[in-house]
Chain A
């Protein structure tokens, strides 16, 4: 029941959107897009690890070899 992950992902999401708007104000559109992309990739890494853990557990519980 680890709830930290949800807060981490939400925090990263908010931070990337803030960086995006800041960089857009500064006139650097491309860097803003890359910053958003990096944020999404970090969150995706965390979620994929959790998905892997879940699928391994389901495989062991339901004999889905």
Chain B
């Protein structure tokens, strides 16, 4: 069960981060960031398996690939931005974290615009 490894690594990282924090703070931030990165790397490798199945289903149901890739991009942006914002908040930099989240929202809106336009056009076509 991989979840046991993940929890083990997380706890060890947390204890080491707290231990190093009172001696020097910079390396404590690096320890917590490294722990987060290792767990996130493990999660991303699992996600790629799920996305492969999604793509096969989409091609079966001949859904336009553009929409699926846009959705996956938005999910990717959300993951990375949330990870970065949390690391910044751990390091005590709340303002940087909120800037990261703010720019992530803007990027998601930019990505979602074509789909919104497509939906509105199809709705307008329905109205006689």
A contacts, CB < 8 Å to B: 1-3, 5-7, 9-10, 12-14, 16-17, 20, 36, 39-40, 43-44, 46-47, 50-51, 53-55, 57-64
Contacts and interface: CB of A to CB of B under 8 A. Distances in A.
Interface of B: 2, 5, 9, 12-13, 16-17, 19-20, 23-24, 26-28, 30-31, 33-35, 37-38, 40-42, 44-45, 47-48, 51, 69, 72-73, 75-77, 79-80
Given A39-B27, A43-B27, A54-B41, A63 B72 contact: yes
B76 A6 contact: no
- Majority secondary structure of chain A interface residues (helix, strand, loop or mixed): helix
A54 B23 CA distance: 28
Contact of A1 (B42, B48, B72): B42
A19 B23 CA distance: 11
